[in-house]
Amino acid sequence: MANEMPGVEGGFGDLPTMTFPQSEAPKGLKVVELVEGDGPIVRRGDTVTVNYHGQVWGGDKAFDSSFERHQPASFGIGVGQVIRGWDQTVPGHNVGSRLLISIPPEYGYGSRGVPQAGIGGDDTLEFVVDIIATR
């Protein structure tokens, strides 16, 4: 089936493992709520604290993972402090949620990519994001 999302193993708080279908990367910006949290809702302009694990579509290792560093990240959401794909998908979800976000280049790092991180200009990025807190 074309445009399937990756499979994700592991629950909220666990280092996720992604498996990729043989199909092409999904088209457009996509978000799937894998675990629905019951905490406060994240709103644009909040400072959100998350754990995340990012892989290039089809890759076998993370290009960045706060899970692997054992260090959650905090930043303003919906205000341009992170890539547009995050700004447009994280708000509206509750603390305690685990999201799977598929981000095409135009919502990520654009046509330049981030070569030093192994991200090409036409790579689709897959993130598993655990929302830990919002304020």
pLDDT, residue 3, reads 61
Domain annotation covers residue 110: yes
- Cα–Cα separations (whole angstroms), residue 10 to 32, 34, 36, 86, 92: 15, 10, 14, 21, 23
Convert the pLDDT of each residue in 20-43 to its tens digit: 999 999 999 999 999 999 999 999
8 in any annotated domain: no
- CATH for 127: 3.10.50.40
**45-59 mean pLDDT:** 97
Please report whether residue 12 resides in a domain.
no
Over residues 14-23, the mean pLDDT reads 95
Q: What is the number of structural domains in the chain?
A: 1
pTM beyond cutoff 0.85: yes
| Domain that includes residue 128, residue range | 30-134
